[in-house]
Structure 1
Amino acid sequence: MPTGRFDEYTKLEHLCSSAANYPSNGIRTRLFGHALAAYKSELETRSTDLFQAVQTYPIDYLEAFDGDDFQKWACHSASQLRQHYQINRKEPLSRFICIQAETSISPLDCSKDVFTLLLSFHHVMPRFLDLVFAFGQQAAAVSDLNCTAFHHENFLEAEDTSYSIPRLGRSGRQLQNCYNLWGVEKSDANGEWSFRQMAVYHSFDVESCRSLWINIKANDLMLERITDMATTSGRRNYNTSSSPSSRFAATLVTHMLFFEWCTEGWRSFISSLEKAAHEILMKVENAPIQDVEKQLSLDYEAIMPTSPTTPTQRRPTFPQAGMQSRTSSGFRAPPVRKAFSGSTTLPVIQSQASATSTGHPTVPAPQREVVPVSSKNFTVLEEFSVKSLQRLGGIGSKLQKASLMMQLDAQVLDSVVTHYDALLRDERLSDGLRNGCCSEVSLFREEAASCIRRLGMEQSRIAALEGILRDGRNLLNTILQYKNTEINKIFTVNAQETSSRVEEMTAEMHQSALRMESLTRITGRIAEKTERETSSMHIITLVTLVFLPGTFVATLFGSGLYQWDQNNPEMEFPLWKQKYFNLFAKICFPLMFFVIVVWYCVYWWSKRKENKKGGGDEENLLLGGEKDAATDGHDDSGDN
């Protein structure tokens, strides 16, 4: 252990020159060597994500030297920081160092060289790195809540004065503690709430009453508040006229400044989530179930053909297990089919096969108008979507995270208060410091307890809201399941109706095929009869042609136009009687013309009559073909 005070300052200079090896460069700590090596390794690994490659933003200093007010100073580089620390005067009574970042998930606004030099010069406890590692560039969804902690490392023994450096006003006996807190703030860019963290390191020299604060936070909010606190009248407890107890009490006030920050914003944040959840839950709790039933209900009586003997019954819209329609006689009624149509109506068509299968004439059921079910019927359910369920899940996730943060903050606050209560009972502190700070520590305890109670009340609000969200999610999930079930049912019915229509069309096509087959048979029979009649006509024509010349000649010679002279047997050719022929022509030719005219009139009248009833004859022909086909079918079944 060193014995010369000048040697301690020289060691501090060597310590700062090897700041790149922090915390394995020989700082005063009670940690083992392997722990320091682990911290050094992780610091090197995280350096690219944690620090800027080149110092582009200043580190803000707020310092109050003996007899002076607080002054601001900005550090832009490691060399500038070395020059500032090498000023030949004692350290300020109070020094605030504020390190910021562009966002909570961005690298800190300092380089690794500046950061390690800062920690090495002030002998910052290595456990502070646990809290620093929670910052830096990382995924937006990552939040290392497990790093929330409170650490302290005090050097209050009498032999610790051997590490004193009078040139800097260090006695070697000091209190060290560090912790981090979580809070919620509104973003300046979009006005949305965001979770923010803050890391704090504090050391207090119990003899010279010099204090050091290192605050790491993304924005400059704490810098503004610290400046306002240090320069406000009634808060200047760091000047030389202040007693040691008042300076120690001033550190408690600074702690309370940080404690107050971690309790702010939670009420408004939870209220905003409650409002967002209320907008969804009101729609869910006041869901028009009757309208949903009405929109999804279908007119079964209009869809199904009504039986002349059994009245149809209508079932409720909400499905009930084991509920089935029954007739008044107690027998189970046939299942009722629904009809669904996206843009057109699906009428129920009665198959002709069912009417003809019984062999008895049936009276066709009157056609009823079917009310179509279109996509407009589901507008009442558009507000109940998976997106609403996702929003409720997101709100619940934020509430759980906020509750955990407040619980961790409360534990940190309780640990800090417990630590300072223990210091009042530590005999290694001077009696003047302990006795002079009893009231301040008691007030600090009460104010911290008030912060813890506020956090507990907000946690109670979160617990109640989580229960409401849980019930709302269950109800919304039930509505979504019912919606999907009903839509699936309707699409199933639509598929069944389409299948029925296809089946009916197939039956009609089968009937058409039977009619075509019957018509083909009739045509074949007509062809056979025509062929037989044609053969008969050929025979008649042949016989007529054979006997017609002889008949004509015999008739001509027997008519008296040619006469043989009986007195002249040797006459070679008969005599032609011209007057007989004239008489024949006057009678025969007009008679022939009259017969032809009469025949033409009869032919024209019959042709016209056939044209008028030609369609009816075709239907009769087809019906006759169907009867023949049915007869053939019965004959075939009888043969079988």
Structure 2
Amino acid sequence: MSCAQLPYLFQLALSQSQSYPKNTIYKTIDAYPKFLERAESQLSDREWDLFEDNPYEWEVPIRDLDTACGKDIDKYNVHNHQKLLERLGICVQKPLTNAPTVISTRKDPKCRFIYLYGSHSRAKLRLTRAMLLDILTFHQVMPTFLDFLYVFGQQSETTELQFSSFKEQVVLTNPPDELVLPSLGRSGKHYQMCYNLKSAALKSKNTENSTLNEWTIRQVVVHHQFDVINGNILWIVLRGNIDIQQRFKALTDRNARSEDKSFGTPEDCFRSSLSAQLMYCYAATEDWRWYIKWLENVVDKEHIMAVIGPPGVGYAHKTYTPRDIQDLQIWEEKTRRVILALEGNLDVMLALVSFYRKLSRNKSFPLRKPCASDICAFASQVENIVSDFRMQIKRAEFLVRTISDRRQLVIQHLQSQSASRAERLSRSMEQEQVFMLIITVVTLIYLPATFVSTFFSTNVVKYQDSNSPGGTFSAVAMKRWLQVTIPLTVLTCGVAYLARQYMVGKRREGEFGLEEGRSTLWTVKNFFNSSVALLPFHNRAPHDPKGSFFNRVMTGRTQDIELSDT
């Protein structure tokens, strides 16, 4: 094992790896001290959510290709911090008198793939903060990588689906001396980028009812570095499962295409990096078509009766409830999230193509001429993916419009159902009114006879006296009957009138009490384009001496109704 001395500032950065990103050597204008302090603080705030604290869960797969010791493939799963330092080739020597010295024990491979993942997309990453910061410091990853890290970590619901970004850093001329590390195979002239892509995946499948299937949107974060002189490649990939790791393994396995795993020259290394970029892009296209198709099928199955269901008596049609409107809103929001994710992928891929095209026009890029055709071929394939995304976006937008139209239909059906119920109630009231009219007419017919029978049953006129066959009349009985009947009738009418006045007064007092809390006003236009102020039961206008709103409407004095809120 050969050991090589590292520049002092690089040693200092490694010894202070836990202060990342403040220990980065190459600082751009946007990496001002306040930004670095805030980035470190945010990482500390999210530490508990992001990193696994159970040592038995730690695992960092590292796959080195074309190593300095002659191995085509050297793969290892790191399970602790010390093994990670050994894998990276970092050795800290602590002499008794001087300060600790950091040396490198191995040269960087031509291609290194570091995979950071959790058990699922909403779980903690299976490493510690110290392990991550050692990886980022040793490879001098740009600080904006932390922004992409926060889409992962322990969380109850998937967040940051709206986040999409592409960041780049290019150092092709005058690199800092501390980044020129011949012992590690680093020329200092390099570029690096970081971006995230989203893909759809079927989480669980219900064989009995497809509408109960569960779909999820998963993210992948890709960090890439390329040394333009030596051709060294670095991949740091974050994912919620091992899916991308298996894809990269298949891309660079012994049975894979030679052009995807050739690292003999910087040109070969660059072409291999483009192959990996295409692999990430193609992985982001999978299952979007089937996810959108599933959304279309669910909306059609659940709400197609709103379109083809024949309304009216004698037809079997669905009775709608406000829950149907809520369901349509849920499906619309899911579809809009699909559109947002697809547009994010589209923007990232266009930025990726733009980056490589600008790189091919950069005179400081030594591979611009030998790899110009490879960049054109790469751009063409990515643009094909972008075209597919545009078609899927149009399809999802059409589904959003369809859901919106059906929601309006459901609202109309609800209004129609309410009108039908009101009509049935009106018909029932009409029948009751007919019955009451019949009872009233019958009562009026029998009222005279009842009055006569009652009157002749008194002692005013008697027909039962045998001495007077023609009947006898008693003026005293008639007088007493009138003396009792007339006052009692007047008293009954008076009590009824007073009771009515009392109830009317109580009702007005209640209305006046509610009117004082008036705050809002609804204006409803009548059929003649005149607006009438309708007040809710808890908000009434101040007392109008001309009469209540209901009385004025019933008497036709609508011109007295105020047309706006004063």
**Partner of 2:125 in structure 1?**
108
Distance 2:287 2:331 in 1: 16
Q: Report the Cα offset of residue 15 of structure 1.
A: 2.5
Alignment of 1:468-507 (within 5 A): 468-495=402-429, 497-498=431-432
Q: Report the Cα offset of residue 215 of structure 1.
A: 0.9
Please report the TM-score for the alignment, with normalisation by the length of structure 1.
Answer: 0.63
Distance 1:79 1:175 in 2: 29
Q: Is the 8 A contact 2:306 2:406 kept in 1?
A: yes
Decide which structure has greater strand share.
Answer: 2
Distance 2:302 2:52 in 1: 44
Distance 1:399 1:128 in 2: 29
Distance 1:81 1:141 in 2: 30
Alignment counterpart, residue 413 of structure 1, candidates 337, 349, 364: 349
1:509/1:77 Cα in 2 relative to 1: closer, same or farther (>3 Å)?
farther
* SS in structure 1 at match of 2:236: strand
Q: Does 2:83 match 1:80?
A: yes
Distance 1:220 1:501 in 2: 78
Distance 1:469 1:204 in 2: 47
Alignment of 1:235-246 (within 5 A): 235-236=257-258, 242-246=264-268
**Partner of 1:451 in structure 2?**
385
Q: Is the 8 A contact 1:151 1:178 kept in 2?
A: yes
Alignment counterpart, residue 148 of structure 2, candidates 117, 127, 131: 131
Alignment counterpart, residue 165 of structure 1, candidates 169, 172, 181: 181
Q: Report the Cα offset of residue 287 of structure 1.
A: 1.7
**Partner of 2:330 in structure 1?**
394
Alignment of 1:196-595 (within 5 A): 196-236=218-258, 242-280=264-302, 282-289=304-311, 292=312, 294-295=313-314, 380-382=316-318, 384-430=320-366, 433-495=367-429, 497-498=431-432, 520-525=454-459
**Partner of 1:41 in structure 2?**
41
- Give 2:126's aligned amino acid: D
Alignment of 1:606-625 (within 5 A): none
Distance 1:240 1:270 in 2: 38
Alignment of 1:184-195 (within 5 A): 184-188=200-204, 191-195=213-217
1:491/1:174 Cα in 2 relative to 1: closer, same or farther (>3 Å)?
same
Alignment counterpart, residue 177 of structure 1, candidates 154, 173, 193: 193
Per-residue deviation, residues 502-539 of structure 1 (Å, max 9, x unmatched): 67668878999987766554443399676x7799xxxx
- Give 2:338's aligned amino acid: A
Distance 1:494 1:13 in 2: 92
1:89/1:494 Cα in 2 relative to 1: closer, same or farther (>3 Å)?
same
- Give 1:260's aligned amino acid: Y
Distance 2:432 2:177 in 1: 96
Q: Is the 8 A contact 2:263 2:269 kept in 1?
A: no
Distance 2:323 2:133 in 1: 48
Alignment counterpart, residue 25 of structure 1, candidates 23, 28, 34: 23
Q: Is the 8 A contact 1:93 1:238 kept in 2?
A: no
- Give 1:45's aligned amino acid: D
**Partner of 1:152 in structure 2?**
168
Distance 1:234 1:224 in 2: 13
| Range with bigger deviation, 520-529 or 275-284 | 520-529
Unmatched 5+ stretches in structure 2: 91-104, 207-212, 469-484, 490-566
Distance 1:118 1:514 in 2: 109
* SS in structure 2 at match of 1:406: helix
Identity %: 23
Q: Is the 8 A contact 1:78 1:117 kept in 2?
A: no
Distance 2:345 2:223 in 1: 16
Q: Is the 8 A contact 2:252 2:261 kept in 1?
A: no
Distance 1:11 1:193 in 2: 48
- Give 1:137's aligned amino acid: Q
Distance 2:305 2:261 in 1: 61
* SS in structure 2 at match of 1:74: strand
**Partner of 1:69 in structure 2?**
72
Q: Is the 8 A contact 2:58 2:128 kept in 1?
A: no
Distance 1:98 1:269 in 2: 27
Q: Is the 8 A contact 1:68 1:239 kept in 2?
A: no
Decide which structure has greater helix share.
Answer: 1
1:159/1:385 Cα in 2 relative to 1: closer, same or farther (>3 Å)?
closer
Q: Report the Cα offset of residue 178 of structure 1.
A: 0.4
Q: Report the Cα offset of residue 195 of structure 1.
A: 1.1
* SS in structure 2 at match of 1:263: coil
Per-residue deviation, residues 91-150 of structure 1 (Å, max 9, x unmatched): 2211111112233233323222222222122111111111111222335264341x3111
Greater Rg by CA: 1
- Give 1:276's aligned amino acid: V
Distance 1:137 1:234 in 2: 35
1:238/1:92 Cα in 2 relative to 1: closer, same or farther (>3 Å)?
farther
Q: Is the 8 A contact 1:27 1:120 kept in 2?
A: no
| Range with bigger deviation, 236-245 or 12-21 | 236-245
Distance 2:49 2:76 in 1: 26
- Number of residue pairs the alignment of both structures matches: 444
**Partner of 1:603 in structure 2?**
none
Q: Is the 8 A contact 1:54 1:111 kept in 2?
A: no
* SS in structure 1 at match of 2:219: strand
1:522/1:115 Cα in 2 relative to 1: closer, same or farther (>3 Å)?
farther
Unmatched 5+ stretches in structure 1: 296-378, 536-631
